[in-house]
Structure 1
């Protein structure tokens, strides 16, 4: 048993760290959501921020966009030229994806400074790509509403999860090179 644990020490450490970080951050985010009453920022601060920033980008691109709190659910309605095209829900704010990204990077943690810098840069990139994803999705739904299913369930998850996967590959390759050099 000891030989088996020794052989798979790195895998066990990775799994334990990933699960622990993911569980702690997910629990903290759930507590945050439970205590977000929506009185100032509806439905919660991050979802509201993403919706407002999407509105700003859409307006910058020449679309007459507005976002409004949804009357029937915890979301923000996105309107382009007074046409309801999309809604921004809690799952659209990229926080859960950033938690997943951060948990993976922490499981392969390097020096403190490089790990923190990569987490900050990667999180900002994920957030920005997610914002662009919402803007493109809104424009796509405005012009091609009959493509809603493929846009929302295939193409746009591929964009955001593809970005996370690429960032993970960059981190793992960097980490693997450091491990290889330190063992040589």
Structure 2
């Protein structure tokens, strides 16, 4: 049992941190239950619009209260809708809980912050590209939405996890 103690500690830290972060996020979401979307989701939608505008796909954001979403209208066509699940926070919670489970001091906070920024950038880019696919290549909508673009986000998380484990969590300190 003594051999498994370090693994059990890491697993327990992960579960506790994950539950706390999920509960905090749910509390945040509950406080915006009567809104179209929460402020962070709206912020992501605005950034997607900005990126699409910059790529030559002028976009209008339309609030849709019935579905609690922001619709992207590009070239007069509704391409997709932005819901809370598209804002990457649930993925960031999973990412951060794993990294903090292997806590290594202040660099843990820096790595999590950098990872969050990277995942946010990947997310905004993937939503913009998904809207463009929906507009220009509708035959690839399902493949893009269900397979390719989730793989980008989750692939990013896995790569960050592997970097953390390989170069930080398992690296022997100079003191040992």
Interval containing the TM-score (normalised by the shorter chain): over 0.9
User: Residues of 1 paired with 2:134 and 2:175: CA distance?
Assistant: 51
User: Helix, strand or coil: the match of 2:172?
Assistant: helix
- Cα RMSD over matched residues? 1.3
The runs of 4+ residues in structure 1 deviating greater than 6 Å are: none
User: Helix, strand or coil: the match of 2:171?
Assistant: helix
Q: 5+ unaligned residues in a row in structure 2: which ranges?
A: none
2:13 is equivalent to residue 20 of structure 1: no
Alignment of 1:33-182 (within 5 A): 33-37=29-33, 39=35, 42-111=36-105, 113-174=106-167, 175-178=169-172
Range with bigger deviation, 42-51 or 22-31: 42-51
User: Helix, strand or coil: the match of 2:104?
Assistant: coil
Asked if the contact 1:75/1:87 (under 8 Å) is kept, the reply is yes
Shift, 1:82, TM fit? 1.2
Asked if the contact 1:48/1:76 (under 8 Å) is kept, the reply is yes
Q: How many residues align?
A: 175
User: Residues of 2 paired with 1:150 and 1:64: CA distance?
Assistant: 24
User: Residues of 1 paired with 2:24 and 2:148: CA distance?
Assistant: 30
User: Residues of 2 paired with 1:148 and 1:18: CA distance?
Assistant: 35
